[in-house]
Amino acid sequence: MAKVTFTQNIQRHVTCRDTEAAGRSVREVLDNLFAGNPRARSYVLDDQAALRKHMAIYIDGELLRDRVQLSDPVTDTGDIYVFQALSGG
Amino acid sequence: MSDALLVATRKGLFRIRRGHDGWTIEHADFLGDNVTLKYANQRDGRHYAALDHGHFGVKLHRSNGAGWEEIAAPVYPPKPEGIEDNDMWGNPLAWTTARIWALRTGGPEEPGVLWCGTLPGGLFRSTDHGDSWTMIRSLWDHPKRKQWMGGGADGAGIHSIIVDPRDSRCVWIAVSTGGIWFTDDAGATWAQRGEGMRAEHVPPEFTHDPIAQDVHCLTQCEAAPERMWVQHHNGIFVSSDAGRTFTESTGVQPSAFGFPVVVHPRDPDTAWFVPGIKDEKRIPPGGRLVVTRTRDGGESFETLTHGLPQSHAYDVVYRHALAIDDTGERLAFGSTTGGLWVSEDAGDNWSIVTHTLPPVHAVRFV
């Protein structure tokens, strides 16, 4: 199962423990994860289930490419980091 | 008469109370968070606070007096594949809640009903105090909705909602920009209202088109519901027929531009405004912070200055940041530069509560 790590900044608003979840794509992994933590879903995904505009997801060190469908593949030993995108100074 | 204020700011929600030493900050909730709107249901004591967490989206919280709980925020329906629904620049319109911009309870016979207006233009209704929301598809799917445009924001938004005190099925909303819309069947069908308003920022053939109007704030006199006031991008307009037609108040000094308007709860001819220089500048004219008041239905306006800074003041007051209490005697407003002023004599004299708040989004008496 993929290991999923969340930014500490989200914990102030909603509990998102680092966890493992099954899935062959980022979408499948997050769907499985949010099934057990539905409130956290809207903090990461928008109304259309796309990644929120100022959020970023890394899969094994690579930035997520498909921010709408979240179709990027994930391996069984994959590391997924859910961060907020920072810009500016 | 109200002795308490709630002030929603860029960095928290502040409770202000009138004590022996005047008005002081008593408490802060959501400190550090962007509280974009505050609303209280006076009938059941429930309070609502809209938060914009930026990266993490728009959220809604509710309190019954014993702490806050996060409740459901309105969610837009899935955008169908292939549908052409673009913003004014031709980019695909994101069907996602970008801001909660208006909250309003239903009538006394509908205790759980709450209306919610949002950016980018969706209107939602709850029947369970905000536990769940239903989008009003009759308005969202209205063919003319796609003619709404962004005002100060990138997309169109519903910032004013009025429920008729005589008949809760009658609801008005105002859109920046998209004019005024009205339903007399609780949202099943909608019609444009607002003949007589004038837009300067569009080609001449659209100047008087009701859908082209950039209404900044719409309000209704509680005791005389046929009387409505509009603070518009191009001026001040008043209606005596529940928004069907409006008449412009001319010659308003120092400026007819502004965002908020409040009307006296029992005197439909008395209303207050906070003027600014329009378009790119958006600062008080001459650096003088003033409130304008009419007591004759918009025929004439007084410029109220006592207690307000009259030089190098650059406070702008947003549409939800001017409040009036149920007596019509107490008013309060907060500014983009963190000033908060209160009047206890209908605006004749003002006293500053603090000038060090974060930028103020909304002020309400509770």
Interface list for A 20-59 with B (CB within 8 A): 39, 42-44, 46-48, 52, 54-55
Q: Which residues of B191-220 are buried (b: 16+ CB within 10 A; e: fewer)?
A: ebbbbbbbbeebeeeeeebbbbbbbbbbbb
Q: Across the interface, do A46 and B96 touch by the CB < 8 Å criterion?
A: yes
Domain that holds residue A8: 2-84
Helix (H, G, I), strand (E, B) or coil at B138: helix
For B56-113, the pLDDT digits (tens) are 999 999 998 889 999 999 999 999 988 989 887 778 899 999 999 999 999 999 999 9
Over residues B208-214, the mean pLDDT reads 95
Q: Total domain count for chain A?
A: 1
Closest CA of chain A from B106, distance in Å: 25
For residue B325, name the pLDDT band (cuts at 50, 70, 90): very high
Q: In this prediction, does ipTM exceed 0.85?
A: no
Mean pLDDT of chain B: 95
Q: Across the interface, do B76 and A84 touch by the CB < 8 Å criterion?
A: no
How far is it, in rounded angstroms, from Cα B305 to Cα B311? 11
Q: Is B76 on the interface with A (CB under 8 A)?
A: yes
Which pLDDT score, from 0 to 100, does residue A84 have?
83
Query: Quick one: chain B helix, strand, coil %, rounded to 5?
Result: 5, 40, 55
Does residue B259 carry a pLDDT above 90?
Answer: yes
* For chain B, counts of helices (H) and of strands (E): 1, 28
Q: Is A68 on the interface with B (CB under 8 A)?
A: no
**How large is the C-alpha radius of gyration of chain B?**
19
For B8-39, the pLDDT digits (tens) are 999 999 999 999 989 999 999 999 999 999 99
How far is it, in rounded angstroms, from Cα B290 to Cα B274? 6
For B159-193, the pLDDT digits (tens) are 999 999 999 999 999 999 999 999 999 999 999 99
Interface test with B, best of A15, A16, A42, A84 (most B CBs within 10 A): A42
Q: Is residue A69 part of a domain?
A: yes
For A25-81, the pLDDT digits (tens) are 999 999 999 999 999 999 999 999 999 988 999 999 899 999 999 999 999 999 999
Q: Is residue A34 part of a domain?
A: yes
Q: Is residue A89 part of a domain?
A: no
Q: Across the interface, do B96 and A47 touch by the CB < 8 Å criterion?
A: yes
Q: Across the interface, do B56 and A84 touch by the CB < 8 Å criterion?
A: yes
Q: Across the interface, do A43 and B53 touch by the CB < 8 Å criterion?
A: yes
The most distant pair of C-alpha atoms in chain A lies apart, rounded to whole Å, by: 37
For B302-315, the pLDDT digits (tens) are 999 999 999 999 99
Which pLDDT score, from 0 to 100, does residue B142 have?
97
Tokens of B292: 């304008």
**DSSP per residue over B301-326, as a string?**
-EEE-TTS--SS------TBSEEE-T
In chain A, what residues touch B81 (CB-CB under 8 Å)? none
For B260-310, the pLDDT digits (tens) are 999 999 999 999 999 998 776 788 888 999 999 999 999 999 999 999 999
Q: Across the interface, do B56 and A44 touch by the CB < 8 Å criterion?
A: yes
Which pLDDT score, from 0 to 100, does residue A89 have?
52
Cβ atoms B183, B190 nearer than 8 A: yes
In terms of CA atoms, which chain A residue is nearest residue B79?
Answer: A48
Does residue A88 carry a pLDDT above 60?
Answer: no
Cis peptide before B254 (omega within 30 of 0): yes
How far is it, in rounded angstroms, from Cα B169 to Cα A79? 53
For residue A87, name the pLDDT band (cuts at 50, 70, 90): low
Interface test with B, best of A46, A47, A69 (most B CBs within 10 A): A47
Closest CA of chain A from B346, distance in Å: 40
Alpha carbons within 13 angstroms on the beta-carbon side of residue B38 total 27
Closest CA of chain A from B157, distance in Å: 17
Q: How far is CA B106 from CA B14, B59, B255, in A?
A: 26, 21, 34
Q: Specify the pTM.
A: 0.93
Q: Across the interface, do B57 and A43 touch by the CB < 8 Å criterion?
A: yes
Which pLDDT score, from 0 to 100, does residue B153 have?
76
Q: Is residue A12 part of a domain?
A: yes
In chain B, what residues touch A13 (CB-CB under 8 Å)? 53, 56, 59
For residue B249, name the pLDDT band (cuts at 50, 70, 90): very high
Over residues B31-55, the mean pLDDT reads 94
In chain A, what residues touch B53 (CB-CB under 8 Å)? 13, 43
Q: Is B79 on the interface with A (CB under 8 A)?
A: yes
Give percent above pLDDT 90 in chain B: 87
Q: Across the interface, do A85 and B96 touch by the CB < 8 Å criterion?
A: no
Describe the strand order of the beta sheet including B302-304 as a list of residue ranges.
Answer: B257-263, B271-276, B291-294, B302-304
Closest Cβ–Cβ partner in A13, A39, A85 for B53 = A13
- Residue at B189: amino acid letter: T
Over residues B216-228, the mean pLDDT reads 97
In chain B, what residues touch A10 (CB-CB under 8 Å)? 56
How far is it, in rounded angstroms, from Cα A30 to Cα A83? 14
Q: Across the interface, do B75 and A43 touch by the CB < 8 Å criterion?
A: no
Q: Is residue A39 part of a domain?
A: yes
Q: Which residues, 6 or more positions from B112, have their beta carbon under 8 angstroms from its beta carbon?
A: B106, B126, B127, B128, B129
Closest Cβ–Cβ partner in A9, A48, A84 for B96 = A48
The CATH number covering residue A21 comes to 3.10.20.30
In chain B, what residues touch A46 (CB-CB under 8 Å)? 57, 94, 96
